[in-house]
Each structure stands twice: as C-alpha cells, then as structure tokens.
C-alpha cells in the first residue's frame, strides 16, 4: 500500500465562549482549547490536523488495508501471510521504517508488502484479483463508515464544538481513505491496480512490465512529483465522496 500527503485548508471559526459539553481527556481538551484560542492561525490548525491525519493513516488505515490483503489471501487458500504474522491489526507488523519516515518527510510512503504465494490459491486468477482488490475496498469501507458515524452523531444534535471536531476528523479521514483507494487502484506496478489488471494481460506483457518494473515505478513517482495526476485523483475522489454523502443524506 502506498500513501501520500494531502494538504488540507481549514477556515473554521469558533467562539471561545462555547462550552465543552462532553467528557474528553484532559490532553485532548487542552489541545482543543488551544486551537480555539488560535483559531485564526490557519497554519497551526492545518499542521495539527495533518499530523492527526498521518497518525490515522499509519495506525488505522494502513494496518486495516494490509490485513485485508492478508485475510483475503488466507481465505483464498494461501496461508503465507498468516504464518508471517501479517494477519493482524497491529500496525507495527505492517510498518516499514523507511516507508513510514517518508510519509512525514516527503508526504508519501509505503508499508511492508503482504507476502503472498499465488500458487497456493484454490483459483489463481480469482485469488489474485480478490487479494489485490481487498486493500482498496477496505479503504472505501472505512471512508463510508466514518461518514456514517458522523451522520449518526449529527442526529443527536451534539454541542457545536463537538460537531466541528468530528466533521474535521471524520470527513478528512474519509477523504484520505477514498484517495488511498483511488491511488492504489491505478494500474501501475507495484500498486494494487496493476495486480488486478495483470490477470487479464497476456504473459508476454506481464513479463515485460515486471522485467522493467523498477524503471516504471521510478518514472511513475517522478510524474507524481510533478502533480500531473492530482487533477484526475481529485476528480475521482470528490465523485466518490459526493456519492457517499448523498447516500447518507448529508
């Protein structure tokens, strides 16, 4: 799974006089009050929530994505991931030190690839397709669930401050997961999308791609660095996000 940075911009105005009507931990309470007092410092608010978004990616979205690969492979007949200790939600089983550091330094990074032996699948093509698609699908499910939680909370008319906090966190978490799903479904090695379409390519094409995979990957990241894909990714991501919100009647 590859992850990359999203830049968020907030324009949230909160009255300092709003009382915190829910029982939050002291640390979270102090952080929230500090943000309220500095509510016009957009850079500070953006920095805090980008950090929180990274933390959610590393400790929740990433392990769920990788475990989805491992679980599906296991169900399709390959126990390699299970015996490698990857059938778990423990983020430290999936983190790659360099890939994690890259998330904070460069804005994109990667996790340890889940070990899979396709020869163990009961059905090779079905096993590869389902295992590859399971990761992005898990991101879409997490996005939908986060919006569903927000919709349920809003039905109870909570305090204004709680609404603002949950909207920022849950909506951005949904946005991150949708973007990760879309990005990982691009048909470029080593992304999940390539593993999916490789089932439908002739062996010579697959051999050529995998022979020059390193060069293709480097070229792809160079294009990503130029921002050429940002418009397409944003369009698809916004379309899916709008579709989810319409289903949930926001």
Cβ atoms of 120 and 79 within 8 Å: the answer is yes
The C-alpha atoms of residue 19 and residue 61 are separated, in whole angstroms, by 32
- Is 66 among the catalytic positions? yes
Catalytic residue among 46, 66, 210, 238: 66
Q: Which residues contact 203 (CB under 8 A, 6 or more apart)?
A: none
The C-alpha atoms of residue 2 and residue 191 are separated, in whole angstroms, by 7
The C-alpha atoms of residue 32 and residue 19 are separated, in whole angstroms, by 11
| b/e code 13-24 from CB counts within 10 Å (16+ = b) | eeeeeeeeeeee
Catalytic positions: 66
């Amino acid at each position: 799974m590859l992850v990359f940075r999203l830049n968020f911009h907030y324009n949230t105005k909160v009255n300092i006089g709003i009382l915190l009507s829910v029982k939050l931990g002291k640390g979270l309470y102090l952080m929230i009050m500090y943000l309220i007092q500095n509510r016009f410092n957009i850079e500070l608010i953006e920095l805090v929530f980008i950090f929180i978004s990274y933390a959610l990616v590393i400790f929740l979205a990433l392990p769920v994505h990788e475990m989805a690969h491992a679980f599906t492979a296991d169900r399709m007949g390959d126990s390699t991931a299970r015996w490698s200790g990857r059938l778990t939600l423990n983020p430290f089983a999936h983190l790659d030190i360099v890939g994690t550091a890259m998330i904070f330094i460069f804005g994109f990074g990667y996790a340890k690839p889940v070990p899979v032996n396709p020869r163990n699948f009961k059905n090779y093509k079905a096993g590869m397709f389902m295992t590859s698609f399971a990761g992005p699908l898990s991101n879409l499910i997490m996005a939908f669930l986060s919006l569903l939680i927000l919709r349920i909370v809003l039905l109870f008319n909570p305090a204004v401050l709680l609404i603002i906090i949950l909207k920022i966190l849950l909506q951005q978490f949904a946005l991150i997961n949708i973007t990760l799903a879309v990005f990982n479904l691009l048909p470029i090695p080593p992304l999940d999308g390539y593993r999916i379409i490789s089932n439908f390519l002739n062996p010579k094409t697959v051999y050529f791609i995998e022979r020059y995979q390193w060069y293709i990957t480097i070229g792809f990241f160079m294009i990503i660095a130029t921002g050429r894909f940002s418009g397409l990714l944003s369009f698809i991501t916004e379309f899916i996000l709008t579709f989810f919100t319409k289903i949930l009647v926001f």
